[in-house]
Chains A and B, each alone.
Chain A
Amino acid sequence: MLGLESKYAYATGRVRVLETRLLDRGRIDRMIDASDLESSLKVLAEAGYARAELSEKVHPSIDDIIAGEEGRLATLVRETTPEPRLIDFITARWDHHNLKTMLKAKLHRVPPEKAVARHGMVDLAVIERAIEGEARDLPHHLAEALRAAKAAHDVRAVPETIDIVVDREMYTYLLARAREISIPYLEGLVRTEIDMLNLSAFFRSRRMGRDKGLVAEALVPGGRISPTKLVALYEQPPEAVAGGLAGTGCEVVARQAASALAEGKPLAELERLSEAAMWERIRKARYVPLGPEPLIGYMFAKLHELKLVRLILVGKTSGMARESMRERLRDVHV
């Protein structure tokens, strides 16, 4: 009679408190307006970012701060969810990220990024061995992503190929997982992510004048927009694109993206529109009183918040102009 409402009641209670600690527009603005990195870190410390606190005037590294919060998020989900597979929607991203980073490092002989995710389910040594050819211990979905990425890289030997193929495999895996778990809100979020990824690849490629065949390879199936439809619209004028996507729920984003790019705005505008569309979906969980939605919404919101935090902190470190940062994060808030 109570079902999921009862199972997720504890998680909902915890999330309702944690939602109040997510960075709101005011805090994001304060971080952007801060005169230096130290002042930005103070805002994070106020918001409960444990590792953002300064000790003996030593700055914690951005990676440490992000990793600390990622660890807390994973612990929260593990402690509260009655559905253990839900943790995949966080850790699978980190595992695929590590796979991409380490594979690119190996194939292009560059040192691996410092920012390998630290809280993935798969040990880095296992991924490394798999890249060397010993994939026995690698979970099936990651082994499949590795095989596909290597095969695609053999045909087009650039790092971007690895990103495209591993992302495609990851979203295919996450969508299959969401369908297994059978929570419509979760499946809807993953499908929106896929749509935004596809639209981003579509418009980015148009702007760069890439071949239609390359776009088709980058598109992930399973979203509300069929990749076949996108490929068919690839060479159409901007106004035809939004019309062609009518009924998918993405026509507004497509129209905005098409007109922004036609006006010569930078590609970062695409990211901003995608994130705004994701926030709209995520925010729907706020209006669900009980059930899995609040926890899932919080997971996605926190992951997005961490992306923003990284962006702002890196911007602060590199001396990025406040106005550029504000423009990039204009509609993005929790």
Chain B
Amino acid sequence: MDVTVGMILGFLGIALAVALPGVGSAMGVGLVGSAGSGVVTEDPDKFGQILLLQVIPGTQGIYGLLTGFVLMMKLGVFSGNVLRLTTFEGLLVIMAVLPIAIVGWLSAIHQGKVAAAGVGVVAKRPEELGKPVTFAAMVETYAVLAFLASLLLIMFGLPLKGVA
């Protein structure tokens, strides 16, 4: 199979969509996990509440993976007949994944910081769990918007035909 520059760019787009939000989520979840381990060392009963905070920054990684899957379908990866994209089509694919790649990556880190700060709230006032969860969820808004933007661009904004 002849590989075109466009195909390389298309696969780079998939990699960016999956990897960057994944890295951000790993950092965010890791941060909350470290702070949570500190709390659980002193007060093991708080494990359940902290786990809830820890999963929140993990969603960006899922959005990235979903974006990657949709793109793989669009490029024919699952059918075994990968579209031979032109260079411009490849560039369009990269443009389409940039919202979730960038916003997913950075928002997961910031959400991790907010959730880790929330661990402190749980340590002192476990009955107030809803408040730190809400604060962390606010960051999620922008990851969801970026996910939607990338998804819509891929589904409706990429007239991919490839070359013969």
Interface residues of chain A, those whose CB is within 8 Å of chain B, are 1-2, 5-6, 9-20, 80, 289-290, 294
Contacts and interface: CB of A to CB of B under 8 A. Distances in A.
A10 B109 CA distance: 17
B27 A2 contact: yes
A12 B38 contact: yes
Size band of the B side of the interface? 20 to 34
Contacts of A289: 113, 116-117, 120
- Chain B interface mostly helix, strand, loop or mixed? helix
Given A6-B31, A290-B117, A16 B38 contact: yes
Given A10-B37, A17-B42, A17-B124, 16 more contacts: A1-B27, A2-B113, A6-B27, A6-B34, A9-B35, A10-B35, A11-B38, A12-B119, A13-B41, A16-B38, A16-B39, A17-B38, A18-B42, A20-B123, A289-B113, A290-B116
A333 B68 CA distance: 55
B162 interface: no
A220 B87 CA distance: 69
Contacts of B43: 17
Contacts of A14: 38-39, 41-42
B124 A19 contact: yes
A197 B68 CA distance: 62
B38 A290 contact: no
B36 interface: yes
A105 B120 CA distance: 46
A20 B39 CA distance: 12
Contacts of A9: 31, 34-35, 38, 116
